[in-house]
């Protein structure tokens, strides 16, 4: 239990700074949701006794919306659908975790799509997008590990959380505008 608290505190502190670095980029709201996710989950758990698997899908929906800011007309409908869906499966933590994993998979696919767009249009491999997609893939795997093997999954969950904190530290220093981590695939 102490390890979980230490990881949570470190994670909350670390993830505040990438949101600042991403200010005025297309990824600001995405990182802002990451910055407030742990405090919101902890607060809702403490005040309303809602578990993380119950609140995470809503935060995930906000992240998905942040990656498609011009097409948010679907967001209220998706929020209502998600609320009804989560209400019906609230007794099953595995189903709630799976919902979160699917959300992370959608985010992963959206980031990969942007990476492919950059590859095809500019012959450029964005280091930022590679790191962000890797971070999201870790999220997918982290949740699936918890679902499939609870006893050993906790240790692997902590290991994944440690690496995610490292990613948070890296995102304090790079943004989508950081071209020094990009790889040009065609020589001029």
pTM score: 0.81
Q: Is 71 domain-assigned?
A: no
> Residue 73 domain-assigned?
no
* Residue 72 belongs to a domain: no
> For residues 126 and 182, is the Cβ–Cβ distance under 8 A?
yes
Residue 62 lies in a domain: yes
User: Considering the domain boundaries, does residue 97 fall inside one?
Assistant: yes
* Separation between Cα atoms, residue 150 and residue 146, nearest integer Å: 5
Q: How many domains does the chain have?
A: 1
Q: Does 74 fall in a domain?
A: no
Residue 105 CB neighbours (<10 A): 16
Q: Which domain holds residue 112?
A: 2-66+79-184
Q: What's the rounded Cα separation, in Å, for the pair 152 and 146?
A: 8
Over the stretch 159-184, which tens digit does the pLDDT of each residue have?
888 898 999 999 999 988 887 777 87
In a domain, 13, yes or no: yes
Geometric angle at alpha carbon 105, from 107 and 87, rounded to 5°? 95
Give the model's pLDDT for residue 1: 66
pLDDT level of residue 37 (50, 70, 90 thresholds) = confident
Per this entry, what is the length of the chain? Answer: 188
Q: Which two tokens stand for residue 178?
A: 């950081």
The pLDDT of residue 69: 63
Would you say residue 60 lies in a domain?
yes
**pLDDT band per the 50, 70, 90 thresholds, residue 53:** low
- Cross-strand pairs, 124: 184
Cα–Cα dist 98/96, whole Å: 5
């Amino acid at each position: 239990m102490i390890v979980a608290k230490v990881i949570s505190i470190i994670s909350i502190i670390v993830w505040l700074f990438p949101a600042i670095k991403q200010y005025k980029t297309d990824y600001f709201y995405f990182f802002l949701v990451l910055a407030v996710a742990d405090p919101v989950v902890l607060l809702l758990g403490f005040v309303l006794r809602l578990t993380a698997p119950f609140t995470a899908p809503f935060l995930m929906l906000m992240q998905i919306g942040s990656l498609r800011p011009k097409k948010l007309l679907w967001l209220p409908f998706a929020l209502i659908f998600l609320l009804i869906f989560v209400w019906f499966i609230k007794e099953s933590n595995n189903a709630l975790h799976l919902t979160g994993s699917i959300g992370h998979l959608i985010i992963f696919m959206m980031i990969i799509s942007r990476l492919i767009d950059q590859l095809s249009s500019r012959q450029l491999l964005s280091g930022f997008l590679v790191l962000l997609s890797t971070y999201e893939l870790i999220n997918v795997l982290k949740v699936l590990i918890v679902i499939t093997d609870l006893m050993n999954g906790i240790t692997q969950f902590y290991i994944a959380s440690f690496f995610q904190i490292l990613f948070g530290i890296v995102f304090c220093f790079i943004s989508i505008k950081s071209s020094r981590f990009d790889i040009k695939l065609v020589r001029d």
